[in-house]
Structure 1
Amino acid sequence: MTILVTGATGTVGRHLIYHLLHQGQKVRALTRNPATASLPEDVEVIGGDLTDAGTLRPAFGGISAAHLITFGGDYQPLGNGQQIVDLLREGGVRKVTLLGGWQEGSLEPAVRASPLEWTYLNPVQFMANFLTDWGEPLRTTGVVREPYGDRKSPPIHESDIAAVAATVLTQDGHADQAYHLTGPEVLTARQMIRHLAEATGRDLRFEELTPDQTRQEWGALGKRPNLSLFRAFTQIPGVRDADVVEIFLQMVGTPNKYGTTLTDNVEKITGRPPRTFAQWAAEHAHHFQPQDAA
Structure 2
Amino acid sequence: MAHTTLGITGATGRIGGAVSRRLEERGVAHRLLVRSPHRVASHVAAANGLLDAATMDFADPDGAAESMAGLDTVFLVSASESADRKQQQLAMVEALSRAGVRRVVYTSFAAPAPDATFTFARTHYATEQAIERAGLEYTFLRDNFYLDVFPDFVSADRVLRGPAGDGRVAAVARADVVDAALAVLLDPRGHERAAYTLTGPSALTLDEMARIMTRVTGQDHRYEPETPEQARASRAGYDPSRGRWRAGSPRTRRSPRGSSRASRTTSRCSPGTRPALSRTCCAARETRCAKKIFVTSPARLVHMGPARTACSQGSRARSLWTTRGKDDIPLWITRPHHVGSCSGTRH
TM-score of the aligned structures, taking structure 1 as reference length:
0.74
2:74 to 53, 66, 74: 66
Corresponding residue for 1:128? 148
1:118 to 138, 157, 172: 138
User: Could you say which structure has the higher strand fraction?
Assistant: 1
Corresponding residue for 1:163? 179
1:100 to 108, 119, 123: 108
Letter in 1 for 2:182: A
Question: Aligned in 2, Cα 1:194/1:65: closer, same or farther, shift over 3 Å?
Answer: same
Unaligned runs of 5+ in 1: 232-240, 289-294
SS for the counterpart of 2:262 is helix
Please say if 1:21 is aligned against 2:18: no
Please say if 1:206 is aligned against 2:242: no
Summarize deviations over 1:109-153 as a string: whole Å, max 9, x none: 33212332111121121113325433xx1xx21122333453211
Unaligned runs of 5+ in 2: 110-119, 269-279, 287-293, 304-318, 325-347
Residues in 2 aligned to 1:79 and 1:63: alpha-carbon distance in whole angstroms: 23
Corresponding residue for 1:260? 263
- Contact 2:65–2:98, Cα closer than 8 Å, also in 1: no
TM-score of the aligned structures, taking structure 2 as reference length:
0.64
1:285 to 308, 317, 321: 321
1:33 to 33, 36, 44: 36
- Deviation, 1:221, is 5.7
Residues in 1 aligned to 2:39 and 2:151: alpha-carbon distance in whole angstroms: 21
Question: Aligned in 2, Cα 1:286/1:12: closer, same or farther, shift over 3 Å?
Answer: closer
Summarize deviations over 1:50-102 as a string: whole Å, max 9, x none: 23112214421232210113435527434256654454345443221111261
Please say if 1:8 is aligned against 2:11: yes
- Deviation, 1:208, is 3.0
- Contact 2:144–2:170, Cα closer than 8 Å, also in 1: yes
- Deviation, 1:163, is 1.6
SS for the counterpart of 1:251 is coil
Aligned residues: 268
User: Could you say which structure has the higher helix fraction?
Assistant: 1
Summarize deviations over 1:214-253 as a string: whole Å, max 9, x none: 5257437647899x8954xxxxxxxxx6x559x32x2399
Letter in 2 for 1:276: S
SS for the counterpart of 2:62 is helix
1:215 to 204, 220, 229: 229
Letter in 1 for 2:202: E
Residues in 2 aligned to 1:37 and 1:80: alpha-carbon distance in whole angstroms: 24
SS for the counterpart of 1:104 is helix
Residues in 1 aligned to 2:255 and 2:80: alpha-carbon distance in whole angstroms: 25
- Contact 1:66–1:169, Cα closer than 8 Å, also in 2: no
Corresponding residue for 1:269? 283
Summarize deviations over 1:128-187 as a string: whole Å, max 9, x none: 3325433xx1xx211223334532111101121122122222221111122111112111
1:175 to 161, 172, 192: 192
Residues in 1 aligned to 2:79 and 2:296: alpha-carbon distance in whole angstroms: 26
Q: 19-28 or 77-86, which moves further after superposition?
A: 77-86
Question: Aligned in 2, Cα 1:124/1:86: closer, same or farther, shift over 3 Å?
Answer: closer
Letter in 2 for 1:143: V
Residues in 2 aligned to 1:48 and 1:279: alpha-carbon distance in whole angstroms: 32
